[in-house]
Amino acid sequence: MNPSEQNPGFGAGLWRDNPALVQLLGLSPLLAMSRSVATALGLGLATLAVLVSSSIAVALLRKRTPDAVRIPVFLLLIATFTGCIELLLQAYRYPLYQALGIFVPLIAANGALLATAAASRRHSLASAARGGLLAGLGFAWVLLLLGALRELLGQGTLCRQMDLLFGPGAAAWQLQVLPDDYEFPLWVLPPGAFLLTGFLLALKNAIDLRRGTSAPPASVPTPGAKRVRVTGVPPPDSRS
Amino acid sequence: MITSAPHAHSGLTTGTVMQRVLVAALPGIAAMVWYFGPGTLIQIALAGSAAFAAEAMVLRLRGRPPGPTLADGSALVTGVLIGIALPPLAPWWLAIAGSAFAILVAKHPYGGLGYNLFNPAMAAYAALLVSFPDAMSQWPGPRPLLSDGTLPGLVDSLQRIFTGQHAAPDGFTMATPLDLFRHNSGLMVQQFQTAHPLFARGDLAGVGWETVNLGFLAGGVYLLARRVITWHAPVAMLAALVLMALLCNDGGSSASRGPPSLHLFSGATMLGAFFIVTDPVTTAASNRGRLLCGLLTGVLVFAIRAWGGYSDGVAFAVLLMNLAAPLIDRITVPRAYGHGRARQHHGAPPE
């Protein structure tokens, strides 16, 4: 289950319990919609809005939600807010809605939302709102960073097509960071999303290790465990 | 997979193995230089040095002593294989990007030599192919088919590779035999082979390409003789390729996917069979496992060539089988001496 459920220090969504980098929830929108800064920011904001509003709703209804049906209730609430966001996007940012495609309705199926809703249930309105905000920001910054990296490495630009989000005036925001003729489409293609997500995970773990905030799980065998084969023995250093 | 003791030491060190692999690649490289110009040598130099530099950089980052690992030549072999696989006149950054990808993405994040899941050279080739399909398919025609002086010499090649500028217009690029077959529409195999100069002189698999493949075959025989590789994976791969070609050969109609000779001696077949599929790190551990790995690689190579989106499929087939190698290891656990048939391990995978 989601770590913040047992953990009273709920609200560490930005870093310690980051939905994308630690809980590894919502990976499919993360991988699919991080092609560019514009799509990443769009989906990040939409997810953030649904997260905050559904957290608040769950906390408001927490006394009236029977345990047995809590998950259907969470899902209904999340789906309702997702529907609202979808309609808003259709009304005001139709090109962005088209660019995000199926991933707007799929916000409702994002595991990060269900996990946050489950956690919000134990909290007061203010702390649930804060938790939802932090989890949403945590998801959004990873999405945005991944989008920036993929756009930069893949196309050499940043912030292309920002008019999807901010209207026609924003079309000029595109920054050509690398030379004009630079492109390396691998990073925009799906394998690039997986590779860079892996590197971000590694980077986060490296930073945590360096700060000493999280020790890696010790790989000591359980006492009494029988070892028959030699697999699992740390390889001798000479092999590297 | 880590195999169980006892292990017999074959007396080969990684360094010796890599040296012999480099020696074994020479006949094939020589054939490439003769038929497709000196560009291959430049690509090998570029990719080799880039791989070497990337390896040194990563070892430094990881706080490992760079000396012994650099000296074993494994990074160099990766670079050389990338250089061989690239079109001879590809722009310089392709070789650099490919080598950097091989070392920085396909090799070291997994733990470096001996731990990498994928063959680094093939991972790099696939990354370049999906990213730059045009640049990766510009092969020159073989020397005998070009009029004198059209195939770029050393200076011209350098100029093309490094500046993209060139004195003469492109009079030398030509579809490879596999490309031709892929886009064949409506010609019976026999008509096809008389219609195209690549096959017109009775060549089995295209002028030049067959010689290059024979060169790599010769290198493979040398590797077998020096016991650097075992016969299982290459023989299984080639046999599967021939078998598939025979099965899908309908007597030479226009829908035919090409005779077995074409598949054996064209594209990257021999390079793949003797230099890539035999990579001890990324293939199965046991001989039976290697047979199975080779067999399935051959089937996949044919399937991609015949029905896939690319004209050659060695790199993708190898990568897919790299993924399957751990599973193949599980179903081909060698029988321990004195015990009955090895039973499959039925432990549930950790959730």
Domain spans, chain A: 12-204
Interface test with A, best of B2, B134, B319 (most A CBs within 10 A): B2
Chain A nearest C-alpha distance from B299 (Å): 24
* pTM (two decimals): 0.82
Which residues, including other chains, have CB under 8 Å from residue B341's CB and lie 6 or more apart? B335
- B230 sits in the region (left: phi over 0; alpha: psi -120 to 50; else beta) called beta
Give B70-126 pLDDT, tens digit per residue: 778 889 999 999 999 999 989 999 999 999 999 999 999 888 888 899 999 999 999
In three-state secondary structure terms, B273 is helix
Tell me what ipTM this predicted complex has: 0.80
Chain-chain contact of B105 with A240 (C-beta, under 8 angstroms): no
Question: What's the CA gap between B47 and B226, in Å, rounded?
Answer: 26
Question: Token pair for residue A227?
Answer: 């070892």
| Greater pLDDT, B199 or A153 | A153
What is each CA distance from B102 to A50, B50, B119, B205, in whole angstroms? 41, 10, 8, 30
pLDDT in the model for residue B336? 67
Q: Name the residue ranges covered by the structural domains of chain B.
A: 11-170, 175-333
Question: What's the CA gap between A18 and A200, in Å, rounded?
Answer: 12
Binding-site residues on chain A for chain B (CB distance < 8 A): 183-186, 189, 191, 195, 198-199, 202, 229-231, 235, 239-240
Chain-chain contact of A231 with B2 (C-beta, under 8 angstroms): yes
Chain-chain contact of B131 with A199 (C-beta, under 8 angstroms): no
Residue B40's closest CA among B143, B124, B129?
A: B143
pLDDT in the model for residue A217? 52
Chain B partners of A239 at a C-beta cutoff of 8 Å? 114
Question: What's the CA gap between B269 and B217, in Å, rounded?
Answer: 9
pLDDT in the model for residue B351? 46
Cα B105 to the chain's mean position, in Å? Answer: 18
Question: What's the CA gap between B157 and B280, in Å, rounded?
Answer: 35
pLDDT in the model for residue A5? 43
Helix (H) or strand (E) holding B183: none
| Greater pLDDT, B1 or A159 | A159
Question: What's the CA gap between A153 and A184, in Å, rounded?
Answer: 7
Question: What's the CA gap between B266 and B206, in Å, rounded?
Answer: 7
Arithmetic mean of pLDDT over chain B: 85
Which residues, including other chains, have CB under 8 Å from residue A72's CB and lie 6 or more apart? none
SS (H, E, C) A67-86: HHHHHHHHHHHHHHHHHHHH
Question: pLDDT tens per residue, chain A (240 residues)?
Answer: 444 444 434 457 788 888 888 888 888 888 988 989 999 999 999 999 999 999 999 999 988 888 899 899 999 999 999 999 999 999 999 999 999 989 999 998 888 888 888 888 888 888 888 889 999 999 999 999 999 999 999 999 998 888 888 888 888 888 888 888 888 999 999 999 999 999 999 999 888 888 876 554 555 555 565 555 555 555 555 444
Interface test with A, best of B62, B131, B320 (most A CBs within 10 A): B131
Closest-approach residue (CA) in chain B for A234: B2
Chain-chain contact of B109 with A198 (C-beta, under 8 angstroms): yes
Chain A nearest C-alpha distance from B48 (Å): 21
Interface test with A, best of B130, B320, B323, B329 (most A CBs within 10 A): B130
What is the DSSP pairing of strand A175-176 with strand A157-158? Answer: antiparallel
